[in-house]
Structure 1
Amino acid sequence: MNAFDKSVRLEGERIVLRPFGLDDAPGLIEAIRSREDFLPPNFPGVLEAEPIAWFLREGVHKVQRFGLGIHLAATDRDTGGLLGTIGLFKVSWDHLTSEVGYGMRRGVRGRGYATEALSLVTDWALRDCGLFRVELRAMVTNHASVRVAEKAGYTREGIARGAERDAAGVNQDMIVFSRVATDPRPGSAASGVPWRRSGGASGRLVHQDEEGRPSDR
């Protein structure tokens, strides 16, 4: 089974989530040159034109073709500029589960983009893709990402002790969150999660909060 076999475009109030393409090369090059930390670990990290072009044309889409996950560019709805990335990984179609990871560029953090992107992807995964559970992990010290998860309707399940090694080589505890298909949708009376809806036809739930960068694995 592969529910990711079609092109994906998710529109929110201020962002559009879509597949990466060659038009994203300037934004990716700028991020690499500035040594920004929002890119997943499998993205190019050096300024070499041919590998970057291949990655945006083919490499970034391979996990989607095999149904193993998906990488989406988070872009500004008005300008098309690259705001960050979000994706699903560790997808199990046998168990209908997945993890989600995202990263936002330094200059746009704290404006609610991460929460909007997370809400869009999670709703799509649980409603349109047939997944039952989406899991999110954030380091216990990443308070901004914890707030994002909570605002997007995720339930805190507990602590995974020493579950991820940081850049200094120290294993850090991770907070485990999840949303499952049977949870009340954020914005419903049962969920207790405040929301506001865009007036546009393509509007989705939009939550405003500070945002950070969960560790993309």
Structure 2
Amino acid sequence: MLTLEGTKVRLRDWHAADLSAYREWLRPHQEWHQWDGPYFPPLTTQEADAALARLAEQLSTGESPEVRRRMVIADALTDHLVGTVSWHWESEETEWPRAGITVYDPSQRGRGVGSEALTLWVDYLFAVTGFRRLDFSTWSGNLAMCSVGLKLGWTEEARFRDARVVRGVVYDSVVSGVTRAQWAELRLHSSSQSANY
């Protein structure tokens, strides 16, 4: 079992005990759906049950991929699932990966949970892959996610104006990215600042 420890959260592999909590977080009434791709419909009951069945099947084999595609964001004290991190190919042909992060539990937002989880995830992905870069996509109304990118020193690489309609309001689509070399420099700078305090 892989675990990546932070001070507020840990990233870890899925446990069977996560399934019921995850199913509850997938329900359409959960508040996080308003922020994480609200221009896409939430999963139907059937789609959510199918996703859970696939996850349960993966857990039953006891096997994990060498490079994780998705991990649980768990509270560092309680180990309860509060969100997930993931990555997928934006373009596998050109080896262009895109990272994702979702904090389901609204009580965890505004505490640095997303920034720490994304930092752990990027450290891990750059350590175990040959990725040249990572990015994430969000929308300009998701100020929390936009600020995570800024806080971590990522570069806003694209802004597609008037591209997303959320609850009748038009927003931009925003992509923030970081290269492997840029991340190494940012982490070195952050380590040296910590050592000076």
Classify the TM-score, shorter chain: 0.7 to 0.9
Q: Is residue 135–residue 177 contact of structure 2 (8 Å, CA) maintained in 1?
A: yes
Higher helix share: 2
Instruction: Letter of the 2:102 partner, please give it.
Output: G
Map of 1:188 onto structure 2: 188
Map of 1:124 onto structure 2: 124
Structure 2, unmatched stretches of 5+, are none
Q: How does 1:58-207 map to 2 (within 5 A)?
A: 58=57, 70-90=69-89, 92=91, 94-104=93-103, 105-163=105-163, 165-166=164-165, 168=167, 172-183=171-182, 184-189=184-189, 196=194
**Measured at CA, do residues 157 and 56 of structure 1 come closer, stay the same or move farther in structure 2, by a change above 3 Å?**
same
TM-score by length of 1: 0.67
How much does 1:142 deviate? Answer: 1.7
- Deviation track 1:29-72 (CA, whole Å, cap 9, x = no partner) reads 33245822447779965399964652332369xxx8597x7121
**Measured at CA, do residues 37 and 133 of structure 1 come closer, stay the same or move farther in structure 2, by a change above 3 Å?**
farther
Any idea what SS the aligned residue of 1:78 has?
coil
What is the rounded CA distance, in whole Å, between the counterparts of 2:17 and 2:41 in structure 1? 19
What is the rounded CA distance, in whole Å, between the counterparts of 1:194 and 1:170 in structure 2? 43
What is the rounded CA distance, in whole Å, between the counterparts of 1:120 and 1:129 in structure 2? 14
Aligned pair partner of 2:9 in 15, 26, 30: 15
Q: Is residue 149–residue 177 contact of structure 1 (8 Å, CA) maintained in 2?
A: yes
Any idea what SS the aligned residue of 2:188 has?
coil
Any idea what SS the aligned residue of 1:122 has?
helix
The answer to whether structure 1 residue 28 and structure 2 residue 27 are counterparts is no
What is the rounded CA distance, in whole Å, between the counterparts of 1:123 and 1:52 in structure 2? 27
**Measured at CA, do residues 156 and 53 of structure 1 come closer, stay the same or move farther in structure 2, by a change above 3 Å?**
closer
Structure 1, unmatched stretches of 5+, are 1-6, 198-217
Any idea what SS the aligned residue of 1:79 has?
coil
Q: Is residue 91–residue 97 contact of structure 1 (8 Å, CA) maintained in 2?
A: yes
Q: Is residue 139–residue 175 contact of structure 1 (8 Å, CA) maintained in 2?
A: yes
Instruction: Letter of the 1:75 partner, please give it.
Output: A
TM-score by length of 2: 0.73
Any idea what SS the aligned residue of 1:182 has?
helix
Report percent identity of matched pairs.
24
CA-based RMSD of the aligned residues comes to: 3.8
What is the rounded CA distance, in whole Å, between the counterparts of 2:4 and 2:166 in structure 1? 32
Q: Is residue 88–residue 98 contact of structure 2 (8 Å, CA) maintained in 1?
A: yes
> More deviation in 152-161 or 134-143?
152-161
Q: Is residue 19–residue 56 contact of structure 2 (8 Å, CA) maintained in 1?
A: no
